[in-house]
Structure 1
């Protein structure tokens, strides 16, 4: 299904509200000022969304949060390896270590939960994220694993390309929300679109 610019703008506004909540929580965790920009929100067929995140053969670090409630689905936050390393460095941990992966999981948890909770509050949905799972692998393998783990996954993903600035240092991330079938349409109907 194609979405209008007005519908995507409405989803973008929800993302911006979520990013404000995420900035506050991450700044407390990192002990540094954080700013998150969400320049674009697109609704894409799942295959195109995966391609938009990057080359499936390139390694990435991803944090996966399954969500349940009025909206079922999966949130996937994908970091380039160098940006994952930058975030870990700010916390004084190695990105490849168990502690580093745990720290990235908590960062992903804060970001994903902030977006999902803001979304739920704005549109009156009860949404509960489950604990994060962090992995580093080829992007294609990460996405394939996520899709295989879910029984009912929609064919549309919402993708937020985000830039996060921590004390002025930029870290890119891609945020994918892959709701269950008809999940995007449900979101839009709840905001009157």
Structure 2
């Protein structure tokens, strides 16, 4: 297996800026769904080697609900949003559904879909790439099992992931989620080329 490519500080800053702009647009879209202001900040955004990103996504034995969003087009990728149980409960209560139920998972799937699609659409607008998100799949399992399943679906193994720890604040209530984007092996290079930093 080849070693991950090395990126300059300027290239990594550009990738982090994509993450921040995407999150801002995602917050606006989620606010429309909830009918109340949503503030999303990204205390950490990084382009990491895959193994480091997986490790940073959370303790493997921790329970979480994951929303998986396949992306096709000029760039193939998988987007994964991970919601810890407490934060899942907060979001479900805002939507008036019970966490851990079919309705609760469906609601989280819709939130994940809105956040993921908003981020991907921002990426497409900024880079000129044609990107098409597919319907999301919602899974409840241990973090390690969710990540293993997602990685197994990567036909063209990636070696770098974009990782964002995001904090949502809705009506003064705070919840956190982890956003991972796993592009195809040449996907990061393609993004940087479109940004003039390839």
Whether these two folds match at TM > 0.5 is yes
1:23 aligns with 2:21: no
Q: Which moved more, 1:57-66 or 1:4-13?
A: 4-13
Q: Which runs of 5+ in 2 are unaligned?
A: none
8 Å Cα contact 1:157/1:178 also seen in 2: yes
TM-score by length of 2: 0.94
- The residue that corresponds to 1:117 in the other structure is 121
**Alpha-carbon distance, 1:169 to partner:** 1.5
In the alignment, is the contact (CA less than 8 A) between 1:61 and 1:134 conserved in 2? yes
Q: Please state how far the C-alpha of 1:56 moved relative to its aligned partner.
A: 0.5
Residues 42 and 160, structure 1, Cα contact 8 Å, conserved in 2: yes
Q: Give the counterpart of 1:150 among 148, 154, 159.
A: 154
Q: Number of residue pairs matched?
A: 193
- Look up the SS of the partner of 2:99 in the other structure: coil
Q: The residue matched to 2:176 in structure 1 has which SS?
A: strand
Aligned: 1:131 with 2:135: yes
Alignment of 1:153-168 (within 5 A): 153-168=157-172
After TM superposition, give the deviation of residue 149 of structure 1 in Å.
2.0
TM-score, normalised by the number of residues in structure 1: 0.96
Cα RMSD over matched residues? 1.1
Q: How many angstroms apart in 2 are the aligned matches of 1:40 and 1:4?
A: 18
Specify every segment of 5 or more residues in structure 1 that has no aligned partner in the other structure, as ranges. Answer: none
Following the alignment from structure 1 to structure 2, what is the Cα–Cα distance between the partners of residues 130 and 153? Answer: 19
Query: Residues of 2 paired with 1:167 and 1:7: CA distance?
Result: 36
2:111 to 96, 107, 110: 107
Structure 2 residue matching 1:172: 3-state secondary structure: strand
1:38 aligns with 2:42: yes
Quick check: 173-182 or 11-20, which moved more?
11-20
Q: How far apart are 1:67 and its partner, in Å?
A: 0.1
Match of 2:189 among 176, 185, 192: 185
1:140 aligns with 2:139: no
Instruction: Name the SS for the 1:3 alignment partner.
Output: coil
